[in-house]
Structure 1
Amino acid sequence: MDLSKRPGSRANGQRLTRRRVPLSCVACRVRKLKCNREKPCQNCIVRGESNAASCTYAEKVERKNPAKSNPRSDAEDMRKRLNRLESSILSMISTGEKPSNLKTNNEMNLEEVNNTTEPLDQAGGQRISVDTRSTHWDAILHDLGAMKDAWSEENDKIELSSGSHSPANNKDHRPSLLSGLTQPPDRSTIVASIPSREATDKLVTRFFQSYNPATPAKYVIHKATFLKQYNKHWVDPSKTKIIWIGLLFAIITIAMQSYTRTDEVPPEYQGTSPALIQLYRVRTAQCLTIANLTKPVDFMIETLYLYANIEYVDERDGDMGTYLLSGTMMRLALQQGYHRDPSHFPNLSVFQGEMRRRIWSAVNQHDLLFSIQIGLPKCIRYAECDTQSPSNLHEEELYEDMKELPPSRPVSEDTEICYQVVKLQIMRAYGYVTEFLNVLESQSYEEVLKLDVKLMEAKANIPSHLQLRTLEEMANDPPYRVMERFIMQLFYNKAICLLHRSYWNCVPSEVSRNSWFYSRESCVNSSMALLDHQATMHRAAQPGGLLQTMKWYHFPITNHDFLLAAMILCLDLMSILQHDSPYVCECFISETEKFQAIQRSRSIWAEVIDDCRDARRAVSILTSVLNKLSTTKEEQTRAANTSETNDILSASATNPNVDSLRYSPYFTDQFGLGIPLIGDQPTEADFHMEGDFLETLGSDLTVPGDFNWGVWDQALGQKTVCRFWKSPSGHFQTT
Structure 2
Amino acid sequence: MIPPRKVVDRHVSNFFNAFDFASSILHRGRFLAEYANFWQNPSAAPIMWIGLLSSVMSISAFLQHQDVGAVSPYAVETQEMLDTYRTLTIHCLVAGDYLRPARYTIETLTLHFAVDQNTNLDANLGNWILIGVVVRIALRMGLHRDPSHWPNIRPLEAEFRRRLWITLYHMDFFTSTQVGLPRIIKDSQCDARPPANLFDDDLSFEHNEMPPERPLTDPTPLSHIIQRQTIIKVAAEIYDATEAGPPSSATIAALGAKLERAIDSIPERSKYRPLETSVADNPVTILHRMFMDTLIHKAVYLLHRRSFTKGFVEEETAKSSKLCINAALAILEHQRRMSEESQPGGIMFGIRWKVSSSLNHEFLQATMMLCFALNRFHEVHVGLTGSCALPRRDEIIDALTIAKSLWEKQANRPPTLTALDGHGVAPIRDQSASVSHPKGFFGQMPGVAAQSYLVDFDFGQNMVIDPAYSTVDVNMAAYGRFWDDFVNEPVEENQAGIY
- Which TM class, normalised by the smaller chain length? 0.7 to 0.9
CA contact (8 A) 1:249 1:281 kept: yes
CA drift at 1:429: 1.0
TM-score (norm 1): 0.56
Q: Which residue of 2 aligns with 1:618?
A: 416
Is 2:359 aligned against 1:551?
no
What is the alpha-carbon distance in structure 1 between the residues aligned to residue 3 and residue 73 of structure 2?
Answer: 12
What is the alpha-carbon distance in structure 2 between the residues aligned to residue 545 and residue 718 of structure 1?
Answer: 40
Instruction: Give the one of 1, 12, 18 matched to 1:210.
Output: 18
Q: Specify the SS of the correspondent of 1:489.
A: helix
CA contact (8 A) 1:339 1:387 kept: yes
Is 2:102 aligned against 1:300?
no
Q: Which residue of 2 aligns with 1:416?
A: 221
- List per-residue Cα deviations over 1:181-218 (Å, max 9, x = no partner): xxxxxxxxxxxx11222221121111111134xxx344
What is the alpha-carbon distance in structure 2 between the residues aligned to residue 422 and residue 431 of structure 1?
Answer: 15
What is the alpha-carbon distance in structure 2 between the residues aligned to residue 269 and residue 263 of structure 1?
Answer: 7
Q: Which residue of 2 aligns with 1:564?
A: 365
Q: Where do residues 435-514 of structure 1 align in structure 2 (5 Å cutoff)?
A: 435-439=240-244, 443-504=247-308, 513-514=314-315
What is the alpha-carbon distance in structure 2 between the residues aligned to residue 236 and residue 488 of structure 1?
Answer: 44
Q: 1:586 to 1:463 in 2, by over 3 A?
A: farther
CA contact (8 A) 2:432 2:471 kept: no
What is the alpha-carbon distance in structure 2 between the residues aligned to residue 505 and residue 219 of structure 1?
Answer: 38
The letter for the 1-side match of 2:12 is V
Is 2:333 aligned against 1:529?
no
What is the alpha-carbon distance in structure 1 between the residues aligned to residue 103 and residue 154 of structure 2?
Answer: 15
Aligned Cα RMSD in Å? Answer: 3.4
Gaps of 5+ in 1: 1-192, 634-672, 691-706, 721-735
Q: Which residue of 1 aligns with 2:63?
A: 258
The letter for the 2-side match of 1:306 is L
CA contact (8 A) 2:216 2:223 kept: yes
Q: Which residue of 2 aligns with 1:334?
A: 139
Q: 1:217 to 1:268 in 2, by over 3 A?
A: farther
- List per-residue Cα deviations over 1:669-713 (Å, max 9, x = no partner): xxxx69xx9xxx99x9x99949xxxxxxxxxxxxxxxx9616744
Q: Which residue of 2 aligns with 1:280?
A: 85
Q: Where do residues 304-383 of structure 1 align in structure 2 (5 Å cutoff)?
A: 304-383=109-188
What is the alpha-carbon distance in structure 2 between the residues aligned to residue 277 and residue 231 of structure 1?
Answer: 23
The letter for the 1-side match of 2:399 is A
Identity of aligned residues (%): 28
Q: 1:394 to 1:553 in 2, by over 3 A?
A: closer
- List per-residue Cα deviations over 1:68-97 (Å, max 9, x = no partner): xxxxxxxxxxxxxxxxxxxxxxxxxxxxxx
Is 2:346 aligned against 1:538?
no
Q: Which residue of 1 aligns with 2:490?
A: none
CA drift at 1:237: 1.4
Q: 1:556 to 1:609 in 2, by over 3 A?
A: same
- List per-residue Cα deviations over 1:96-140 (Å, max 9, x = no partner): xxxxxxxxxxxxxxxxxxxxxxxxxxxxxxxxxxxxxxxxxxxxx
Q: 1:252 to 1:585 in 2, by over 3 A?
A: farther
- List per-residue Cα deviations over 1:205-242 (Å, max 9, x = no partner): 11111134xxx344211111111111111121121111
Q: 1:589 to 1:286 in 2, by over 3 A?
A: same
- List per-residue Cα deviations over 1:444-470 (Å, max 9, x = no partner): 221112212222222222223322233
What is the alpha-carbon distance in structure 1 between the residues aligned to residue 280 and residue 111 of structure 2?
Answer: 30
The letter for the 1-side match of 2:269 is H
Gaps of 5+ in 2: 435-463, 477-499
CA drift at 1:369: 0.8
The letter for the 2-side match of 1:452 is G
Instruction: Give the one of 407, 428, 438 matched to 1:605.
Output: 407
CA drift at 1:550: 3.2
CA drift at 1:480: 2.2
CA contact (8 A) 1:256 1:273 kept: yes
What is the alpha-carbon distance in structure 2 between the residues aligned to residue 323 and residue 688 of structure 1?
Answer: 13
What is the alpha-carbon distance in structure 1 between the residues aligned to residue 331 and residue 219 of structure 2?
Answer: 26
Q: Which residue of 2 aligns with 1:244?
A: 49
What is the alpha-carbon distance in structure 1 between the residues aligned to residue 34 and residue 343 of structure 2?
Answer: 40
What is the alpha-carbon distance in structure 1 between the residues aligned to residue 475 and residue 367 of structure 2?
Answer: 19
CA contact (8 A) 2:242 2:303 kept: yes
What is the alpha-carbon distance in structure 2 between the residues aligned to residue 268 and residue 424 of structure 1?
Answer: 40
CA drift at 1:293: 2.1
The letter for the 2-side match of 1:276 is M
What is the alpha-carbon distance in structure 1 between the residues aligned to residue 170 and residue 470 of structure 2?
Answer: 19
What is the alpha-carbon distance in structure 1 between the residues aligned to residue 106 and residue 262 of structure 2?
Answer: 28
Q: Which residue of 1 aligns with 2:233?
A: 428
Q: Specify the SS of the correspondent of 2:152.
A: coil
- List per-residue Cα deviations over 1:610-664 (Å, max 9, x = no partner): 2x52xx32133xx3xx45xx5xx4xxxxxxxxxxxxxxxxxxxxxxxxxxxxxxx
What is the alpha-carbon distance in structure 2 between the residues aligned to residue 328 and residue 688 of structure 1?
Answer: 22
Q: Radius of gyration: which is bigger? A: 1
CA contact (8 A) 1:374 1:713 kept: no
The letter for the 1-side match of 2:64 is Y
CA drift at 1:474: 2.9
Q: 1:314 to 1:518 in 2, by over 3 A?
A: same
Q: Specify the SS of the correspondent of 2:416.
A: helix
Q: Which residue of 2 aligns with 1:140?
A: none
Q: 1:281 to 1:506 in 2, by over 3 A?
A: closer
CA drift at 1:515: 7.5
Q: Specify the SS of the correspondent of 1:617.
A: coil
The letter for the 2-side match of 1:600 is I
Q: Specify the SS of the correspondent of 1:619.
A: coil
